[in-house]
Amino acid sequence: MRDFLHQCLYGKIAKVKIFQGGSNRVDHRNINRRTFLKLSTAIAATTALPFVPGCTPARQEADRTVDVAIIGAGLAGLTAARQLVAQGIESVLVIEAQDYVGGRLRDVQVNDTTIIEAGGQFIGPPQTRILELAAELGVETYRIFEEGDAVYHLDGDTTRFPPYDFAVFGEYDRIRLMLDGMAQTVPLGAPWNAPDAEMLDNMSFGDFLDANLSDPIARDLFDIISFSILNAFPPDLSLLYVLFFIHSCVDINTLVATEGGAQDSRFLGGAQLVPIRMAAELGEERVLLQSPVRSIHHDDTSIQIVSDRAVVDAQYAIVAMMPSIIRNITFEPSLPDQRQGLIENWPISGDFKVNVVYETPFWREQGFSGFIGQSDRVAASFGYDNSPPDADVGIFVTWPNIGADPSLADPDNRREAVLNSIAAYFGDQALDPIDYLEHDWTDNEWIPACVSPVGEGLLTQYGPALLQPVGRIHWAGTETSPIWNGYMEGAVRSGDRVAEEVAALILANR
Ligand SMILES: Cc1cc2nc3c(=O)[nH]c(=O)nc-3n(C[C@H](O)[C@H](O)[C@H](O)COP(=O)(O)OP(=O)(O)OC[C@H]3O[C@@H](n4cnc5c(N)ncnc54)[C@H](O)[C@@H]3O)c2cc1C
């Protein structure tokens, strides 16, 4: 068990484990790593080909048979597995492509006592399911630091303002209230059924702002909010999607706020602790790492999942990942047109996250909270004090906007621009960090996206397929959640929902 926990956390495997025969028995064999990688690559090369009718290999003899196979060991997949087991459906297997659990939750050790999160990190009081789950798993939370002034930086001038006093942002509040009101008309379970859905979906958020807002400062703030939350600027986002997203997360204030909002708190020990503890609870026999699923064969009676390290027969499959990544899996027979269209057209958007580590959170001594509310320095146009609760070190977190300045694509330029920006806000001490940790999610083959900047037309054309099971294949992942869509909360809720769906089908036939 200790090896397994170590593997979940650090993503290293000491031994390759393969499943044998039709039983649930795990056989540990030492396979030469080079042979294993050659085999995996060969399988990947054949099965990653686009589906051509008649060319997909027929079903094979399975290594293992389970009631439910879950693809993806992110929060959604692990929650689904945990809920199924809790309902007495103990024969489940979570199959994960990567060598760690948590997916978009990934912690990085800064020193002996401090971690930072390369992926998801913030949680807040309205996100009740993730908080409840964390409490059950013994993962504690703490409030982020926010005493002191926030910063607004434009044309070289730094202005201090009390956190979330948006009075300085001109027309911002008028448009915020207008958007909040419109968002309430979008049904959470089916945004494509909103009144005027087609019209709203064929208009970009940028078109809406252009038509309703002339104040450049307020517009700039909406651009930054849009980039910080959806990793895209208003012209690239469907207005219907933005309204759905706002409604899904209560309202704009809740989305952007620290205290009481989405950035209220963090997990002590890191957000990845939640999936790690779920995997530990499920046990080694129910989680198979480093085994990308390449194809899913399905018919009226059963499912077969072909992954690099096991062929698994199951009664039901749950695919728990971002829709765009599902395009790496070949389905036999192929998926209905609307579902296929959803997968092919769902956006992929990478993300850079930078944590700069200092001896101390020196900005606090100058009365700054560390929160950058808005800045025209695109290397760090917003950011937070991300220090641990004991402030053992000072950490500032930010997200460079490479789209707005292509020179930031160069790592040296990026680092220099990030440090210069922090120095512009808090002084030259910012130029001497003790560590600079950056995570490039575009590098990750299995998670090349953090959020879903859904563009015009997608929701009304393909949205209804998001939740619709295809025979025995069911869908989960934060992108399927009507509540806190895109967040950890949405992932957990989608795991709850899909487990209930599949458990009802299995229990009805027992
Ligand atoms: C940089 C960043 C910052 C974020 N900040 C926050 C935040 O502050 N607060 C918040 O609530 N949320 C945040 N999020 C979002 C949050 O992390 C996600 O909503 C949540 O973790 C999604 O969980 P999931 O299970 O739906 O998907 P994922 O975590 O993406 O899990 C899907 C899993 O499927 C696996 N997989 C993919 N393809 C295959 C295959 N073919 N075979 C087998 N396995 C496969 C992947 O490796 C992955 O482990 C952030 C995300 C990122 C990346």
Q: Where in the chain are the domains?
A: 2-104+272-335+470-508, 107-122+143-147+263-268+350-443
Q: Are 462 and 338 in contact (CB under 8 A)?
A: yes
d(CA 390, CA 113): 10
**CA 367–ligand 1 middle distance (angstroms):** 35
**CA 265–ligand 1 middle distance (angstroms):** 19
Q: Give the residue whose CA is nearest to atom 26 of ligand 1.
A: 477
**pLDDT tens digits, 197-248:** 999 999 999 999 999 999 988 998 899 899 989 989 999 999 999 999 999 9
d(CA 377, CA 474): 44
**CA 105–ligand 1 middle distance (angstroms):** 6
pLDDT-derived band of residue 445, with 50, 70 and 90 as boundaries? confident
**pLDDT of 22 over the 80 cut:** no
**pLDDT tens digits, 82-141:** 999 999 999 999 999 999 999 999 999 999 999 999 999 999 999 999 999 999 999 999
Q: List the structure tokens of 245.
A: 């997203």
Higher pLDDT, 373 or 265: 265
Q: Give the residue whose CA is nearest to atom 33 of ligand 1.
A: 72
**pLDDT tens digits, 344-396:** 999 988 788 999 999 999 999 999 999 998 888 999 999 999 999 999 999 99
Q: Which residues contact 246 (CB under 8 A, 6 or more apart)?
A: 179, 180, 183, 252, 255
Atom of ligand 1 nearest to the CA of 77: 25
Q: Are 104 and 487 in contact (CB under 8 A)?
A: no
**CA 233–ligand 1 middle distance (angstroms):** 21
Q: List the structure tokens of 150.
A: 């926030």
**CA 103–ligand 1 middle distance (angstroms):** 4
Atom of ligand 1 nearest to the CA of 127: 11
Q: Are 17 and 308 in contact (CB under 8 A)?
A: no
**pLDDT of 177 over the 70 cut:** yes
Find out whether the beta carbon of 130 lies less than 6 Å from any atom of ligand 1: no
Q: Which pLDDT score, from 0 to 100, does residue 350 have? A: 77
Of 149, 154, 150, residue with least CA distance to 218: 154
Residue identified by tokens 């950490």 is 395
Q: Give the residue whose CA is nearest to atom 14 of ligand 1.
A: 120
Q: List the structure tokens of 397.
A: 């977190």
**pLDDT of 441 over the 70 cut:** yes
Find out whether the beta carbon of 144 lies less than 6 Å from any atom of ligand 1: no
Q: Which pLDDT score, from 0 to 100, does residue 18 have? A: 26
pLDDT-derived band of residue 56, with 50, 70 and 90 as boundaries? low
Element (H, E) at 65: strand 64-71
**CA 136–ligand 1 middle distance (angstroms):** 21
E-only strand ranges, 343-443: 352-358, 368-375, 383-385, 394-398, 435-440
d(CA 464, CA 327): 18
Q: Are 143 and 428 in contact (CB under 8 A)?
A: no
d(CA 327, CA 174): 41
Q: List the structure tokens of 294.
A: 């390449």
Q: How far is CA 346 from CA 186, 325, 343, 465, in A?
A: 20, 9, 5, 12
Q: Which pLDDT score, from 0 to 100, does residue 510 have? A: 85
Of 328, 363, 367, residue with least CA distance to 346: 328
Calculate mean pLDDT across residues 38-47: 33
**pLDDT of 41 over the 70 cut:** no
Number of neighbouring beta carbons within 10 Å of residue 88: 10
* 82, 104, 272: residue to mutate for ligand 1 pocket, most atoms within 8 A of CB: 104
Task: Please state whether beta strands 149-154 and 157-161 pair in parallel, antiparallel, or not at all (unpaired).
Answer: antiparallel
Q: Which pLDDT score, from 0 to 100, does residue 449 have? A: 76
d(CA 85, CA 240): 37
Percentage of the chain lying above the pLDDT 90 cut: 77
Q: Which residues contact 454 (CB under 8 A, 6 or more apart)?
A: 237, 238, 241, 346, 347
Least confident stretch, 53-62, 132-141, 185-194, 495-504: 53-62
The CATH number of domain 107-122+143-147+263-268+350-443, selected from 3.40.190.10, 2.30.30.40, 3.90.660.10, 1.10.3720.10: 3.90.660.10
**CA 450–ligand 1 middle distance (angstroms):** 7
Find out whether the beta carbon of 229 lies less than 6 Å from any atom of ligand 1: no
The burial of 405, by beta-carbon neighbours within 10 Å (0-12 exposed, 13-18 middle, 19 or more buried), is given as middle
Q: List the structure tokens of 291.
A: 């085994």
pLDDT-derived band of residue 166, with 50, 70 and 90 as boundaries? low
Task: Please state whether beta strands 287-288 and 293-298 pair in parallel, antiparallel, or not at all (unpaired).
Answer: unpaired
Of 163, 212, 178, 214, residue with least CA distance to 374: 163
d(CA 282, CA 84): 11
Q: Which residues contact 101 (CB under 8 A, 6 or more apart)?
A: 8, 73, 74, 78, 272, 275, 276, 278, 279, 287, 289
Q: Give CATH for domain 2-104+272-335+470-508.
A: 3.50.50.60
Find out whether the beta carbon of 446 lies less than 6 Å from any atom of ligand 1: yes
Find out whether the beta carbon of 356 lies less than 6 Å from any atom of ligand 1: no
**CA 73–ligand 1 middle distance (angstroms):** 9
pLDDT-derived band of residue 150, with 50, 70 and 90 as boundaries? very high
pLDDT-derived band of residue 160, with 50, 70 and 90 as boundaries? confident
Q: Which pLDDT score, from 0 to 100, does residue 157 have? A: 86
**pLDDT tens digits, 307-351:** 999 999 999 999 999 999 999 999 999 999 999 999 999 998 878
* 7, 321, 329: residue to mutate for ligand 1 pocket, most atoms within 8 A of CB: 321
Q: Are 443 and 452 in contact (CB under 8 A)?
A: no
Q: Are 378 and 401 in contact (CB under 8 A)?
A: yes
Atom of ligand 1 nearest to the CA of 95: 43
Backbone dihedral angles phi then psi of residue 145, each to the nearest 5 degrees: -80, 130
Find out whether the beta carbon of 100 lies less than 6 Å from any atom of ligand 1: no
